[in-house]
Amino acid sequence: MKQLRRPFVLAIAMSVALAAPAFASLASDTFQDVPAGHWAEVGVAEVAIKRDLMRGYPDGTFRGDKPFTRFQFVDSLVSLLKEFETLSKTSWRPIDHPMNSYADVKPGADRDRVLAIANDYGLFEGVPDVTPDRFNGEKTVTRYEMAKIIDNLLRLAESKDLVRPRGKVGDGPTFSDVSPKDWAYRDVLDVSQRYKVMVGFPDGTFRGPEELTRYQYAQAISQTVPQIRELIAETGRQKEAESLSASPRRYQDLTPLRLELDSGVTGGLPASGNGQMLQALGMRYVRYAGSWFFLSDTRLQLQSGALAGLGSGSSSGTALDETFGVMVQVPMLGPVQLQPYLGLRAYADFAPGESYLFMGPGVGAVGYLRPGNGPWGLFLKGGLSSMLLGSQLAGGNPTTPNPSGLILYSSEAGVEYHVTPKLAVTAGLNVWEAPVGYLTGETRFGKANQTGLALGVQLGF
């Protein structure tokens, strides 16, 4: 008979065997009555040492062959709930719960724990011999009772959308010794077919009326807990994916930070007709902060010729382009999200010999399209700025008037691929141009432009 009990494992659907030699030696070292190589050694180490789901005895023994009682199950459930609520980052406690008195549970720590599990969470509802006045805490837990309580636990989490079923009743293993007449029939089907966290024996039985020993519970719960943890994680991933695909998708919420490295060419055409095409390499920081709809787009450019050097003939230069402002949320147009903005734009060009700063109001919009709610997305941005304020910062002829009349328009378009919901890679093309030009001294630029190819990374917080 003992050989029939040893293979007992409430195995987990799709579980991986827990082979941990370090736990095995630790269990036998910690509990003097758990021999090395014992069939439940790994389970004891997992629940009693690693997860603190079971307690040993003061004399250093585990007493694994002793019955596993309801009082002991309560202790384990207290630790389980703490672990699962930490993982979910929310309380599993329902709004409505029973008010049992349990006159047979004496005042003290045991009573506090029993009332917390049975009343605050309602996990013992529907368990035979548990009445509003009696808990019968010394009674040994059966396999049916374990299935019932685990089912109560998961149904409670499902009601809060913290776990979601992996299947449906009728889609999973069946047991030759479980029939619709059994009191825990529905619970067994739930944990084995809907949630897929427990199965029975290799011979196709569940053996529900059989009472658990401490060894059997340790082995069973050591395999059940990882599956419940994974079920919680699966649900979290499903909800996050649904949020990305179904909820209103504000561009700035999805991509609060984009870092780009771009390379391209700039061109200028003075009135004299001497054109120039200059290589440019830039680093860009873009942030769209969702709660305040704040736009900040900063670009630092190193180039082989100063764009706003105004004919100085410089062979190198640095430019700083900044757009900032407040965005306005527009209702979704199908899969398209559009966010107009109003703000300021500043452009500074630093070249050997002379430097300039332009600043003025700007308007524009940011758009986002995710076809089919898949991982691919398209983004675009367009803007128009009037550089009403111009100033020569350094160099040049002190008698030269400050530059004025500069109009800038810019646009960019690109694609992004979401590696994860909060991490995406991007590639795009950005162009800006000054079609009206600017005037300083005797030199008038009829056109200035820049074209760049950008590769970047988007991060979400």
pLDDT at 267: 64
Range in 157-161, 266-270, 427-431 the model is least confident about: 266-270
d(CA 320, CA 265): 16
- ∠ CA 259-261-267 to the nearest 5 degrees? 130
Q: CA separation (Å) from 460 to 251, 257, 419?
A: 11, 7, 12
| Residue 457 reports pLDDT greater than 50 | yes
Place of tokens 């269990």: 27
pLDDT at 210: 95
| Residue 399 reports pLDDT greater than 60 | no
H and E: helices and strands count for the chain? 9, 12
| 126-158 as b/e: b if 16+ CB within 10 A | bbeebeeeebbbebbbbbbbbbbbbbbbbbbbb
d(CA 383, CA 364): 4
d(CA 21, CA 27): 10
Residue 2, judged by CB atoms within 10 A of its CB (0-12, 13-18, 19+), counts as exposed
Q: Please, what is the angle between helix 214-246 and helix 143-159, to 10°?
A: 20
| 329-368 as b/e: b if 16+ CB within 10 A | eeeeeeeebbbbbebebbbbbbbeebbbbbbbebebbbbb
**Alpha-carbon Rg for the chain in angstroms:** 34
pLDDT at 316: 61
Beta bridge partners of 450: 266, 432
Helices (H), 54-212: 70-88, 109-115, 143-159, 185-189
Helix, strand, or coil here: 153?
Answer: helix
Range in 101-115, 276-290, 319-333, 364-378 the model is least confident about: 276-290
pLDDT at 178: 95
Range in 15-24, 139-148, 370-379, 410-419 the model is least confident about: 15-24
Instruction: Please give the structure tokens belonging to residue 282.
Output: 């830039």
pLDDT at 449: 72
| Residue 4 reports pLDDT greater than 60 | no
Asked if 129 contacts 138 with a C-beta cutoff of 8 angstroms, the reply is no
pLDDT at 27: 81
pLDDT at 226: 94
Range in 165-179, 213-227, 244-258 the model is least confident about: 244-258
Other C-beta atoms within 10 Å of 302: how many? 13
Q: How do beta strands 406-420 and 389-395 pair?
A: unpaired
d(CA 84, CA 221): 14
Residues near 40 by beta carbon (within 8 Å), at least 6 away in sequence: 34, 64, 215, 216, 218, 219
| 416-429 as b/e: b if 16+ CB within 10 A | bebeeeeebebebe
Q: How do beta strands 317-327 and 336-351 pair?
A: antiparallel
Place of tokens 């003939």: 313
For 198-241, write each residue's pLDDT tens digit. 988 899 999 999 999 999 999 999 989 999 999 999 999 988 87
Total length of the chain: 461
Beta bridge partners of 7: none
Beta bridge partners of 415: 378, 427
Mean pLDDT of 308-334: 66
Range in 4-18, 31-45, 418-432 the model is least confident about: 4-18
Secondary structure letter of residue 11 according to DSSP: P
Cα–chain center distance at 426:
20
Secondary structure letter of residue 372 according to DSSP: G
Asked if 433 contacts 445 with a C-beta cutoff of 8 angstroms, the reply is no
pLDDT at 232: 95
Asked if 13 contacts 225 with a C-beta cutoff of 8 angstroms, the reply is no
Between 193 and 255, the higher pLDDT residue: 193
d(CA 95, CA 24): 42
pLDDT at 8: 38
pLDDT at 60: 93
Task: Please report the DSSP string for 55-95 in residue order.
Answer: ---TTS---TTSB-BHHHHHHHHHHHHHHHHHHHTS----S
pLDDT at 413: 92
User: Per mean pLDDT, which of 92-101, 139-148, 172-181, 416-425 is the most reliable?
Assistant: 139-148
Instruction: Please give the structure tokens belonging to residue 391.
Output: 């100033």
Range in 137-146, 195-204, 345-354, 389-398 the model is least confident about: 389-398
Between 328 and 267, the higher pLDDT residue: 328
